Amino acid sequence: MPGIKRKKAVKTPNPTWSKISYVIEVVTVFSLVEAVLFFAQVSPLVSIFYFLTVIYLKVLRGKRRLDMRSFVSLSLLFLIYIPICRFIISSGWSPYYVPVPAAAMVVMLNYRDLELVFVFAMLVSFLTAEMFGGNLYYFWIVFLSSIVGALMSQNVRHRKHIFRAGVGVSVTMVLLYLLYVYASGGNIVKANLIASLVNGIVSFSITFVGIPLFEAMFGTITNISLLEWADTQQPLLRKLVMEAPGTYHHSLVVGNLAEAAAEEIGANSLLARVGAYYHDIGKIPRAEYFVENQPHGQNTHEKLSPSMSKLILLNHVKEGLELARKHRLPRQIMDFIAQHHGKSLTYYFYQKALEEGKEDIREEDFRYPGPKPQSKETAIVLLADAVEAAVRSLPDPTPDKIKLTVKKVIDSKVIDGQLDECDLTFRDLDRIARVFTKILTSMYHQRVAYPEPKGKNGKNPKNGKNGRNAST
C-alpha cells in the first residue's frame, strides 16, 4: 500500500491584518466604482445610493455580508448598465428596453437571497431611472417588475421555468405601464408598450444563456447546475456505483436524509442532497477498507495497526478533494467532501490504539483535518452521515432505539464542537432529529415474517417455494 502523507501545519492568519486587508479591498473597489460613476457623468444621487448599498451589504449584514468576489462581481454587473443605457439613449429607443429585471433574476438564481435581490434591484433601477431623466414612475415600474421576475425565479430547477419568469416580467411591466398611463391621464406610447412586452423576453434570454457565465463570475452554483451534477451518468457517480456500491447506497440514503432535513429548516435542500451524493467519493480508491463495501463478516482492518487504519480513514477526505479537482466539481460541492467529518475523532481506532498500550498516542492525530462545517447544508450532511451509519449498525433497530441513537449522535457532535462554525440553532437540531428519526424508522422498521404456505395435507407445496416476508 502506498504511503500516506501527513498534513502539514497551516499558519493561522493574523486577525488584525485580515481586518485591515478587508477594509483596503472594500475601499479600493468602492473608489473605483465611484470614479467610473463620476467620469460617466452619472447623477451624484446614484453615487450616494451606491455608497449606502455598500455600507449595508458589506457592514450591516454581519455574518451575511458579501464576500469580496461577490462584491466585485455585483459591482461590475451594476456598472454594465451604464453603457447599456447610453446605447439605448443614443439609439433613440424606449427606456423600457433596458433589461433591469435580468439583474434581479440572475442574483436570485445565484444567491437565493430575496433581501440581496431587493437591494440590488433597487440600486440598478435607480441608476437607469436617473440616466433617463429621473422619472419616478419609470423607477417603480422596472423595480416592481424586477421583484416579480426574481420571485418567479426563486425555486427554479429547470431552464424552461426561467421562461415563465420572463413572461411574468412582461405581463407585470405592461400592466404597470398601462396603470401609469391611466393614473397620469396621458396617452399610450406604442414604443413603450412594445418595449415593456419585449423586456421579459430579453431578460429571460440574458438569464438563460448567461447561467454558466454568471456562475463563474459570482463563484456560485444554481439549482439548474446542481441537477446536472446529480445525474447518475456523471463520471464520478458512475465510478462510485461500479467501484464502491456500498458507499454509493450509503450516499443516496444520506442524500435523502439531508434533503428532507434541509427542507424542514429552510436551507438549500437540493444543495444538501447533491453534496451528500459526492461527500464520500474519496473512498473510491480504497473502497474495500470501508465497512459498507466489505463482505459480511470480513474486516480488512483486522490485519492493520490502528495508526494505519486511521490514516486510511482520514485520507479519504484528501483523496476525495483530489478527485473533485480532477473532475472539476464546483467549490460548493467540494465543501461537503472537506467538511462532512469536520474535525471528528476516529473513536474506534483511537480506543484500539490506547488498548494496545503504545506510547505517543495523541487524540489530535486521530481527528479528521477539517474544517468544521461552515454552512447549514454541510452540517446537515455531517449529521446525516453519522446518524445513518450508527442506525445501520444497530442489531435490532426498533423505533425507540433509532430515536435514541439519533439523539445521541447529534448531541455528541454538539458537545464535540463540530457545529460551532455553522448557523444551526438548537431548534433546528430538534427539527432535524425528528426528520431523521421519521425517515430512518420507516427504512429500518422490523419485517413481519409470514408463515410458510402449507398444502392441504399440512406439508409444503410441491414447488418448494417458501412464503415471502413483507417487503414494506
Contact 264, 384 (CB under 8 A): no
Query: 390-430, pLDDT tens digit by residue?
Result: 998 888 889 999 999 999 999 999 999 999 999 899 999 99
Which residues make Cβ contacts (< 8 Å) with residue 152, sequence separation at least 6?
161, 164, 165, 168
Which residues make Cβ contacts (< 8 Å) with residue 144, sequence separation at least 6?
172, 176
Give dist(CA 211, CA 207) in Å, integer.
Answer: 6
Give dist(CA 128, CA 122) in Å, integer.
Answer: 10
Contact 449, 400 (CB under 8 A): no
Compute how many other C-beta atoms are within 10 angstroms of the C-beta atom of residue 240: 24
Q: Nearest Cα to 311, choosing from 348, 366, 382, 357?
A: 366
CA-based radius of gyration for the chain: 28
Give dist(CA 247, CA 292) in Å, integer.
Answer: 6
Compute how many other C-beta atoms are within 10 angstroms of the C-beta atom of residue 204: 26
Query: 415-468, pLDDT tens digit by residue?
Result: 999 999 998 999 999 999 999 999 999 988 655 555 666 655 555 555 444 444
Asked if pLDDT for residue 357 goes beyond 80, the answer is: no
What does pTM read for this prediction? Answer: 0.84
Contact 157, 223 (CB under 8 A): yes
| For residue 371, cis peptide bond before it (omega within 30 degrees of 0) | yes
Under the banding of pLDDT at 50, 70 and 90, the label for residue 225 is very high
Concatenating the DSSP letter of every residue in 267-311 gives: S-HHHHHHHHHHTTGGGGGGGGGSGGGSPTT--GGGGS-HHHHHH
Give dist(CA 355, CA 358) in Å, integer.
Answer: 8
Which residues make Cβ contacts (< 8 Å) with residue 211, sequence separation at least 6?
109, 159, 222, 224, 225
Domains for the chain: give ranges and CATH numbers.
17-218 (no CATH), 223-443 (1.10.3210)
Burial class (CB in 10 A: 0-12, 13-18, 19+), 198: middle
Cα torsion 148, 185, 43, 128 to 10°: value is 30
- Phi, psi angles (nearest 5°) of residue 8: -75, 150
Query: 315-335, pLDDT tens digit by residue?
Result: 999 999 999 999 999 999 999
Mean pLDDT of 272-286: 95
Q: Which of 60-64, 235-239, 297-301, 459-463 has the highest mean pLDDT?
A: 235-239
Concatenating the DSSP letter of every residue in 180-221 gives: HHHHHT----HHHHHHHHHHHHHHHHHHHHTHHHHHHHHT--
176 vs 360, more confident? 176
Asked if pLDDT for residue 99 goes beyond 80, the answer is: yes
Asked if pLDDT for residue 14 goes beyond 50, the answer is: yes
Mean pLDDT of 296-317: 78
Q: Three-state SS for 345?
A: strand
Which residues make Cβ contacts (< 8 Å) with residue 469, sequence separation at least 6?
447, 448, 449, 450
CA-to-CA separations, 61 to 56, 105, 115, 332, in angstroms, rounded: 6, 21, 10, 22
Contact 214, 239 (CB under 8 A): no
Give dist(CA 385, CA 370) in Å, integer.
Answer: 15
Give dist(CA 154, CA 285) in Å, integer.
Answer: 39
pLDDT cut 90: percent of the chain above it: 64
Locus of grid cell 450532511: 381
